[in-house]
Amino acid sequence: MNILSITLQELDCSHNKITELNNLPNTLQKLDCSHNHITEITNLPNALQELNCSHNHITEITNLPNALQELNCSYNHITEITNLPNALQKLDCHRNIITKLSNLSETLRVLNCSNNQITELNNLPNTLKGLYCYNNQITELNNLPTTLQNLNCSNNQITELNDLPEILEVLNCSNNPFLLNYYYEINIENIKRYNIDKQNELLLRPVLK
């Protein structure tokens, strides 16, 4: 990977046996290096806007370019993600071993952090429209962004759901240990689809207006 055009803007080197990426041109805006044997991502071009490094052996992601808008680092061995770029709008980090997510971008619109070991999600940005945090160890979801339209928090340890956003359209909260006799006063006027365990379905009731 040492002989690349200095004017290259997009590079797809997926499905190979690459172990490292060096000397990427500064003009590169889109990089797909998924399905390789890469262990670390460093010295990325400052102009990079989209990065797909999924299905590798990466354990840590740091020093991402400030221009990055989309990041797919799923199916790796990452334990923590910090110092995300302020321009980031889409983050897919599912199928890792992440225990905590913090300092999320204030422009983030979609977050898929499913199938990790996360116990809490706090300070979610108020630009978020889609949150997919299923198959974790989350015990509560409070202060959800008012912009949220899609929420899948199934297969966690959540006992209560309060103050769901009024514009929420899709809700999946199945397979959670909801408290018995706890009634969810949810405004389901705008919800087009929802999935709740049969044992908890009777605990759902709409807010009457």
- From residue 73, alpha-carbon distances to 52, 84, 151, 184, 190 in Å are 6, 13, 21, 35, 32
Which residue range(s) make up the domain with 202? Answer: 119-209
**Region of residue 81 (phi > 0: left; psi between -120 and 50: alpha; otherwise: beta):** beta
Residue 100 burial (10 A CB sphere; 0-12, 13-18, 19+): middle
Instruction: For residues 50 and 86, state if they share a domain.
Output: yes
In the chain, the number of structural domains is 2
Is 55 a member of any domain?
yes
- From residue 41, alpha-carbon distances to 63, 65, 125 in Å are 9, 11, 26
Q: In tens digits, what is the pLDDT along the chain, a chain of 209 residues? A: 555 677 899 999 999 999 999 889 999 999 999 999 999 998 899 999 999 999 999 999 888 999 999 999 999 999 988 889 999 999 999 999 999 998 899 999 999 999 999 999 988 999 999 999 999 999 999 889 999 999 999 999 999 888 889 999 999 999 999 865 444 555 556 676 667 665 555 445 444 33
DSSP-derived letter for residue 116 is: S
The domain that contains 154 carries what CATH number? Answer: 3.80.10.10
Question: Which amino acid is present at 90?
Answer: K
